[in-house]
Structure 1
Amino acid sequence: MITQREASGAGLALTVWGRRRLIAAAALALAALALFVSVPAYSAFDSIYSLAWGQELLHGRLPSFDAYRAPTQHPLWVAITTVLATLGEDGSRAVVGVCVAAFVALVIGGFRLANALFGEVVGWIFALLLLSRLDYGFLAARGYVDVPFLALVVWAAALEAERPRRGGAVWPLLACAGLLRPEAWLLSGAYALYLLLADRRLPRLSEVFWVLVAPVVWTASDWLVTGDPLYSSNYTTRSALSLGRRVPIERLPERLVHFMNDLTKPPVLIAGVIGIGLAFALVRPRARLALPSFLFVFGIATFLALSIRGFAVINRYLVVSALALTLFAAFTLGGWSVLRTRARWIWAAGAGLVIVLGAGWTVSRFHFEHIRWELHSRQVVHADMVRLLADPRVVAGRRCGPVTVPNHKLVPDVRYLLDAGVDDVLPRTRLPHAGQTTRGVALFVTGGRRFLVHPAYGPFDQLDDDPLIQVPGPDFQLVARGTYLAAYVSCA
């Protein structure tokens, strides 16, 4: 029997741990805010396009989901960016702010998930591992929807781990995730099936609603805007083919391992594989392993299914599996806390050594210059674009015709900054003679070879694109130049 003194001591310990958690969460949030303020970062292609769609909605027009090489729409992201589009030029920074906040939520939710499954020690280690996976932070710094999606999934998993089979807030979290990425539709369906089998009952009306709300909203928005309820699915497969992002089935296993290694890095990948074996050997009851194991298998299964369906084969489709594997890696490093024998101290010492070696490995391969250049180049491109588009000669040139850019990559940035329609900013890859005879303003990418092949801005990533998209027509005159962009005008 627990005495009153023991109960009071336990309560005091919980209070101390609770304060530490609050302090850690506040410190993380303040650090993220400081980085967001001190390091200007701007949204990537997909989110900028979503902002442009938001502008169209604010003007009472249907968003141009079917624009040339536009990204796939995500209904909840379109709704959020429509609100942020009211901020004008600052909307791009605001999107990054939302994703940075989502990254903070991801780390805190990850702690709660690991703590509920494996205890406090593993929770702290998992949170630190998430912070050290720079891919997640870098995705947030570029405004990718994957970070908010992952944060929603992790919080849903954490709430389920803390109070199994209670539903509650798990449902709206999964529904919101399903409005960001369609993989979450399957998560909602799997969760509903799990509840039905565990409780041996029929589905409730509310559960049917939560399972269906995301796919219904997504297909309804596609139908309303494009006339095709399956537009997002069909367009994504066509886009992956046209952009060369499909991979033959026989190469998928190799891509899977490569992407998992890329997202987690070798030390965490190895520790994760070891952690799966350790967890199944030591954790009791094993039912506690069902959730992280399901997330790991689910992520791989959806990656393979999407790839076979014809979607782009990219590492971001494996973020759920990578996160689950990182959780098992945290168990490798902190699972000694579940032991009650002297072996725990041997394990703890070994885990400490692995952490030191892993940190050294990470630091030795940390490419700070690459990250600095990526963020800085986006700042400079944004500044170039703002200055060039505001140049009086460029403003005058727009009266003669549309603004043209080499290919699709600069379209959303220019459209958003000008609050322009789909016909006001055109990619020269779609114009006759690569746009050389088109009147108006022509933007060209400069800045040397490295920038000409930049994945976010470079005009030469498609082998079938005409090289003349980077050559001004005979009637064009240079009117303004920046670090990475130049503006030419033709009114002849």
Structure 2
Amino acid sequence: MSRFSRRVELAATVLALAAAVLVWALTRTYPNYDSYYHLVWGRELLGGSLPSFEAYAAPTQHPLYIAVAALLGLVFGESGDRALVLLCFLAHAAMVLGTYRLGAAVFGRWSGALAALFVAASASFLLYAARGYVDPPFLALVIWAGVLAAEDRRGVPVLLVLAGLLRPEAWVLTGLWAVGDWWRGRTSPSGESSKRREAAGRVVAVFIAPGLWALTDLIVTGNAAHSIQATSTLAEELGRVRGIQHVPGSFVTFIGSTVRPPVALLAPIGAYLAWRFIGWRRLLVPAALLAGGIITFVGTGILGLSILPRYLTVPAIAMCLFAGYALLGFTEAEGRVRALWLRTSAGAAVVGAIGMLILAPSLTNVTEEMRFIRATHDSLVALLDDPEVQAGLECGPLTFPTYRLVPDAKWHLEDARIGARSAKRRDRGVEVFALSQKGLRRYGFADGTNPAVNLPNPAFERVASAGILTAYRRC
């Protein structure tokens, strides 16, 4: 790489990280349900107690995210929620930069740059960062592991093990890496003792993340398979889409919503062109990302887990890489192939422009969602700090219609008794209700929940309101 190219990459890195901090500061968003629970669990650990994995409608735990949340809570206190969102925005930037590096290593700099642009323009990836999902840090680790593998550098298993403590998809990717590393090492000139050590290292790398995950479940709940069993049970209770029969249709829908249809259509074209002009050996890393993500997605259907768009984020990035090559791979070609490819890409760029027009409403939806998140958080904090509500907490628990705002309130009110009326209704304490139509849809209803939880008990009196929320009390 030339000195000029290194300077350009350094400038792009600084710009991406600065943009991440700026967006974080201007948008002021807050974590989602799962991430707030991880913050609560981290604080419970710091307080000397085991995390409440078995709480009503608790999400799946991610061991490394609990440790990160605990550290942020220790350093930043209640502002740890905003610190977690900042971490995710920085991880999003690292993911975009890693996409470029991986694309440049496999397909060339221009193809890598376009692939990074596709990832950066995804409204879904941006929203995951804005809500503090576990996905941006996970994806950053996976993509940079891919970069190290494509550049034949050390450190791949370390990053994959860390990623495996955030999401189980990395377990499959670690297995694929181990197979590939074994295949390459078969003809290496190293001695038998060295090969045995390498084989032992691969086994450790494959099993350390799932082993630590199971050990965490065992210590906290007494059941090493708690995460998978609880996730399946919760998916059934909430009426989520489950089952292998829904995998094919969901795959098409989710990929299209994550990276937009034009990118999804270009990806198989790019894959064919790359196989034709680059050769399959150079495609092993992006192909492994694509295959590993698909294997995991199919596995969720077989295991009866919820089929969610987030489970296809890894193959979505792989498709961005192939799509980038489909449009700009001609920069690495020569002669008549280059000329024909250039003309074809120019026509395809028109399709891409249409795709960007389709994307605009998605970005608008993201900004509207961020405003709603901010309004909800401000309403909740103001309501919980109201003296009338504080007085009501002395009389009984704080309850919400469903489980959706429970961890947010637990993070703000550390020692309060907090629950959901969809689990159990109390005859004393404080009941919170949503006022706005969107707030009612988001926080008042959930699959399997009786709508009556949104009706105030006549024995309670209205004592406070803030933004989109109101509170009733009975002592």
TM over 0.5: yes
Query: Cα deviation per residue 1:45-97 (whole Å; 9 max; x = unaligned)?
Result: 00001011111111111110110001000000000001112323312111110
1:476 counterpart residue number: 460
Counterpart check, 1:395 vs 2:380: no
Query: Cα deviation per residue 1:84-139 (whole Å; 9 max; x = unaligned)?
Result: 12323312111110110101110111111111111111111111111112211111
2:190 counterpart residue number: none
Moved more, 313-322 or 241-250: 241-250
Counterpart check, 1:205 vs 2:200: yes
Deviation (angstroms), 1:283: 1.0
Asked whether the equivalents of residues 259 and 320 of structure 2 are also in contact (C-alpha less than 8 Å), the reply is yes
Asked whether the equivalents of residues 261 and 355 of structure 2 are also in contact (C-alpha less than 8 Å), the reply is no
1:194-343 map, 5 Å: 194-200=180-186, 201-202=195-196, 203-284=198-279, 286-343=280-337
SS in 1 for 2:291: helix
Query: Cα deviation per residue 1:276-301 (whole Å; 9 max; x = unaligned)?
Result: 111111114x3001221222122111
- 1:248, 1:216 → 2: CA distance? 26
Asked whether the equivalents of residues 88 and 417 of structure 1 are also in contact (C-alpha less than 8 Å), the reply is no
Q: 1:369 to 1:128 in 2, by over 3 A?
A: closer
- 1:446, 1:126 → 2: CA distance? 43
Deviation (angstroms), 1:189: 2.1
Q: Structure 2 stretches of 5 or more lacking a match? A: 187-194
Counterpart check, 1:82 vs 2:70: yes
Counterpart check, 1:487 vs 2:475: no
2:191 counterpart residue number: none
Asked whether the equivalents of residues 60 and 231 of structure 2 are also in contact (C-alpha less than 8 Å), the reply is yes
Query: Cα deviation per residue 1:160-181 (whole Å; 9 max; x = unaligned)?
Result: 0001xx5x31111000000001
Deviation (angstroms), 1:346: 4.1
- 1:355, 1:343 → 2: CA distance? 18
- 2:472, 2:159 → 1: CA distance? 48
Query: Cα deviation per residue 1:174-201 (whole Å; 9 max; x = unaligned)?
Result: 0000000112122212212221222124
Counterpart check, 1:186 vs 2:179: no
- 1:362, 1:83 → 2: CA distance? 39
Q: 2:345 aligns with which of 326, 330, 351?
A: 351
Counterpart check, 1:428 vs 2:425: no
1:46 counterpart residue number: 34
Deviation (angstroms), 1:342: 4.0
TM-score under structure 2 normalisation? 0.94
SS in 2 for 1:479: strand
Asked whether the equivalents of residues 45 and 51 of structure 2 are also in contact (C-alpha less than 8 Å), the reply is yes
Asked whether the equivalents of residues 174 and 187 of structure 1 are also in contact (C-alpha less than 8 Å), the reply is yes
1:121-160 map, 5 Å: 121-160=110-149
Identity of aligned residues (%): 38
- 1:370, 1:171 → 2: CA distance? 37
Asked whether the equivalents of residues 118 and 259 of structure 2 are also in contact (C-alpha less than 8 Å), the reply is no
Query: Cα deviation per residue 1:16-56 (whole Å; 9 max; x = unaligned)?
Result: 11111111111111112111111111110000010111111
- State the AA in 2 paired with 1:331: Y
Deviation (angstroms), 1:452: 1.7
- 1:355, 1:134 → 2: CA distance? 20
- 2:183, 2:347 → 1: CA distance? 44
- 1:46, 1:352 → 2: CA distance? 43
Q: How large is the RMSD of aligned CA atoms in angstroms?
A: 1.6
Q: 2:446 aligns with which of 451, 455, 461?
A: 461
Asked whether the equivalents of residues 243 and 304 of structure 2 are also in contact (C-alpha less than 8 Å), the reply is no
- State the AA in 1 paired with 2:435: T
- 1:461, 1:402 → 2: CA distance? 21
- 1:364, 1:186 → 2: CA distance? 34
Asked whether the equivalents of residues 445 and 459 of structure 1 are also in contact (C-alpha less than 8 Å), the reply is yes
Asked whether the equivalents of residues 119 and 259 of structure 2 are also in contact (C-alpha less than 8 Å), the reply is no
Query: Cα deviation per residue 1:421-478 (whole Å; 9 max; x = unaligned)?
Result: 6xx10110111xxx2x521111111112x33222xxx22232x322221111122111
- State the AA in 1 paired with 2:356: T
